[in-house]
């Protein structure tokens, strides 16, 4: 596969790089960022933490704002951050920030016009890891994490593919999208009005019926403006209790939905994944 390196910056002894490549899943050019710790330059293969970002974000938000590279360098973990959706002049879009480009929701769309390009689930689960593992000095040990829409995506992907991930974590995830405005809008457009198709992309519904477990860590700010209407962490907690899912859910007084919150607790998430990736 041909990939184009579009930027490179040395960071904590390793390298942050951005790449562009033609995606067979999404039928457009896609960009992703990768942080390779110093160990990867010394002949060592390292495990990978995949990071899925939220609405309106790109591969740059986490890499520039979360403060993850120093500890990733110390612990020998690569970080891969894809874009949040397909993009391009011929890619379907919407005037709202919460649908279309920048808002892929990590699903495989089944409805026109979205179904030609919006197959972010396949991209994250299959195409991107295959590319990363073939082109970079990494192992096949994977963890996955994300924020908001990306937290929803990380939880769903880990629970639907428990053998592929050692651990999953999320900041402020959209925990029960079938019952919130963001999820209802996106799922109606991408998946259609038959709500039975929505259940496979709802973390709370998947967790409630889970029989195979991936260790899960979720952090949520109590000062988050989206907490009650959109995020609904209490539904995730109830689902974990029902199935015995190994979920740790931490609520934090005063913290909001921003990367100030994420940066405050990123170390705990990196260490959580490192412990599972090196078992």
Give the active site residue among 152, 257, 269, 273.
257
Pair type for strands 138-147 and 168-171: parallel
User: If DSSP codes are grouped into helix, strand and coil, which group holds residue 5?
Assistant: strand
Evaluate the CA torsion angle 261, 83, 101, 88 in order and state its sign: positive
CB burial of residue 95 (10 Å; 0-12, 13-18, 19+): exposed
Sheet-wide strand order for 14-23: 4-11, 14-23, 28-36, 78-82, 46-52, 138-147, 168-171, 216-221, 247-252
Any catalytic annotation for residue 204?
no
Query: CA angle at residue 92 from 87 to 93, to 5 degrees?
Result: 80
Burial code (b: 16+ CB inside 10 Å, e: under 16) for 108-119 equals bbeeeebeebbb
Which of 148, 169, 172, 204 is catalytic? The answer is 148
The span from the first CA to the last CA of the chain, in angstroms, equals 32
Active site residue 152: no
Q: Are 44 and 241 in contact (CB under 8 A)?
A: no
Pick the catalytic residue from 83, 93, 202, 224. 224
Beta bridge partners of 147: 171
Q: Please list the active-site residues.
A: 148, 224, 257
């Amino acid at each position: 596969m041909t990939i184009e390196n579009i930027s490179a910056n040395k960071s904590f002894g390793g390298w942050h790089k951005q790449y562009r490549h033609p995606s067979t899943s999404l039928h457009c050019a896609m960009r992703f960022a990768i942080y390779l710790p110093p160990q990867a330059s010394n002949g060592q293969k390292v495990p990978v933490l995949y990071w899925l970002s939220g609405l309106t974000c790109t591969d740059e938000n986490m890499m520039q704002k979360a403060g993850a590279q120093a500890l990733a360098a110390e612990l020998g973990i690569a970080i891969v951050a894809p874009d949040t959706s397909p993009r391009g002049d011929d890619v379907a879009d919407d005037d709202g920030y919460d649908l279309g480009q920048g808002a892929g929701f990590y699903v495989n769309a089944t409805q026109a016009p979205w179904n030609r390009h919006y197959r972010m689930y396949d991209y994250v689960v299959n195409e991107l890891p295959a590319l990363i593992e073939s082109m970079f000095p990494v192992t096949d040990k994977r963890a996955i994490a994300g924020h908001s829409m990306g937290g929803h995506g990380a939880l769903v992907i880990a629970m639907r593919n428990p053998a592929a991930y050692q651990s999953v974590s999320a900041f402020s995830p959209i925990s029960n999208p079938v019952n919130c405005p963001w999820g209802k809008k996106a799922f109606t457009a991408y998946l259609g009005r038959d709500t039975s198709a929505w259940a496979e992309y709802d973390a709370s519904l998947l967790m409630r019926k889970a029989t195979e477990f991936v260790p899960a860590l979720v952090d949520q700010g109590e000062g988050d403006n989206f907490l009650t209407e959109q995020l609904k962490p209490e539904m995730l907690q109830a689902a974990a209790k029902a199935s015995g899912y190994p979920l740790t859910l931490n609520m934090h007084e005063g913290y909001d939905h921003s990367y100030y919150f994420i940066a405050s607790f990123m170390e705990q998430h990196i260490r959580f994944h490192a412990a599972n990736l090196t078992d």
